[in-house]
Copies of this chain bind each other. A is one copy, B any other.
Amino acid sequence: MSGREFFTTRTVAEALAGFRPAHRTAIESVPLPAALHRVPAAEVPSPHSLPGFTRSTVDGFAVRAADTYGASDGLPSYLDLLGAVDMGAAPTVSVRPGGCVAMPTGGSLPEGADAVVMVEYTAETVPGTIEVTRPVAPGAGIVRADDDVATGAPLVPAGRPLRAPDLGLLAAAGVVSVPVHARPRVVIISTGDEVVPPETASLTAGQVRDATASALAGLVLDAAGEPVVAGIVSDEPGALKDKLTAVLPEADLVVVSAGSSVGARDETMGAVAALGDVWCHGLAIKPGKPTLLAECGGIPVIGLPGNPLSALVVFGQVGIPVLWRLSGCETPPARPTTRARLSRDLASAAGRLDVVQVQVRDGVAEPLFGPSALLSVHTRADGYVIIPEPATGLDDGLDVDVTLYA
Contact = CB atoms under 8 A, between A and B. Distances in A.
Contacts of A259: 87, 106
A259 B171 CA distance: 17
Contacts of A227: 33
Nearest to A204: B90
Given A215-B164, A375-B148, A87 B264 contact: yes
B36 A222 contact: yes
A312 B172 CA distance: 14
Contacts of A90: 204-206
Chain A interface, >50% SS class = loop
A371 interface: yes
B218 A164 contact: yes
Given A148-B375, A334-B404, A262 B163 contact: no
B334 A148 contact: no
Nearest to A334: B336
A212 B169 CA distance: 9
B170 A214 contact: yes
Contacts of A172: 198, 208-209, 211, 308, 375
Contact of A105 (B217, B306, B376): B306
Nearest to A103: B261
A194 interface: yes
Nearest to A110: B205
A55 interface: yes
Interface in A282-334: 306, 308-309, 312, 333-334
A219 B106 contact: no
A3 to B, nearest CB: 15
Contact of A218 (B88, B167, B175, B334): B167
Give the size category of A's interface with B: 35 or more
Stoichiometry (number of copies): 2
Contacts of A222: 36, 164
Nearest to A333: B406
B55 A88 contact: no
Contacts of A405: 163, 165
A195 interface: yes
Contacts of A164: 215-219, 221-222, 312
A70 to B, nearest CB: 26
Most central of A89, A148, A164, A262 by chain B CB within 10 Å: A164
B55 A373 contact: yes
Interface string A133-173: 00000000001000111000001100001011111111111
B211 A168 contact: yes
Given A51-B373, A306-B106, A378-B165, A36 B218 contact: yes
Given A206-B87, A235-B87, A259-B87, A174 B148 contact: no
Interface of A: 32-33, 36, 48, 50-53, 55, 57, 59, 85-91, 104-108, 119, 143, 147-149, 155-156, 161, 163-176, 192-196, 198-201, 203-219, 221-222, 227, 229, 235, 259-264, 306, 308-309, 312, 333-338, 370-371, 373-376, 378-379, 404-406
The 4 closest A-B pairs by CB, nearest first: A164-B218, A168-B215, A88-B194, A333-B406
